[in-house]
Amino acid sequence: MTRLNTAQTEIGGVIIGQRQVVDLTLISILSGGHALLVGVPGLAKSLLVETIGTVLGLSEKRVQFTPDLMPADILGTEVLEESETGKRAFRFIKGPVFSQLLMADEINRASPRTQSALLQAMQEKIVTIAGKTHALPKPFHVLATQNPIEQEGTYPLPEAQLDRFLLQINVDFPTLDTERTILLATTGASEATAKKAMTAKQLADMQTLVRQLPVSEKVVEAILTLTRNARPAQTELELVKSSVSWGPGPRAGQALMLATRAKALLEGRLSPSIDDVLELAGPVLQHRMALSFAARANGLQLSDIIEPLKASIR
């Protein structure tokens, strides 16, 4: 627990005023999953990923996604080499995906072909190049960023890839007092730097511990009720039936189960509660649901659907 508290403190010393974003990102990593950070430019999303890599002792690489980025730019490629004896052979050169923490910056700017190259890596922790399978380092996490405003020249992430992200973390503007602190802290002669708080092995041990935390039957029932009520074909809520075109699959329930356990561990508790389910419902569900055309035309947002869903398990 102490190491987690130290990690929170180290990250919070660099990322000012974004405690919830930091905690949700740590929850994603403790759960062994990936996170999608959504926010406008300038909110320290890239700095957050770099800082987390340093604090958690993970090897970190960054890829700037652009429309001309190719799958080989991420996964790696084979090159033909000739030895001193004249014998030719292919050698695999690993791409940036072979790291413990991969930052996919502005992931929606790459073409669907390149985005799909990450699917196998994110789900199975392996990549296949020229028919050969290569295992990724352990642990392996993708923290992707996405700009919700500038949509020109972007490619919406396919539902199958969105579902691979354990949480969608919305990064909002800071409060007035926080922004004043940021101005003073980041424009002086020196800036805060984070220190390593744990090793990758210690992080992996904590990820194992997360899966061993007990979960009460009430929490299991709350997760099942929440996810099943979010599906138009199974819900008891008329608002969902009339406004949602498709809802979350079983992976949403798995994500909630792991995330609530990780949140409990992060806060020094031995078991998750229904309050954890309620708090994590939005980050787990918002990228796994889609509003119908009529609902969008009427000005509804997914938050207008998720709040009644949460009320159904209170």
**pLDDT for res 210:** 92
**pLDDT for res 260:** 94
pLDDT digits (tens, 9 = 90+) for 260-286: 999 999 988 889 999 999 999 999 999
**pLDDT for res 1:** 53
Q: In angstroms, rounded to a whole number, what is the distance separating the alpha carbons of residues 262 and 258?
A: 6
**pLDDT for res 259:** 94
**pLDDT for res 219:** 93
**pLDDT for res 247:** 86
* Residue (of 229, 228, 210) closest to 272 by Cα position: 210
Q: pTM here?
A: 0.89
**pLDDT for res 31:** 92
**Contact of 109 with 154, CB cutoff 8 Å:** yes
The pair of structure tokens assigned to 162 is 């969105």
**pLDDT for res 150:** 65
**pLDDT for res 313:** 83
Beta strands in 98-184 (DSSP E): 101-105, 126-129, 132-135, 141-146, 165-170
Residues of the chain with pLDDT under 50: none
Q: What is the CA radius of gyration of the chain?
A: 21
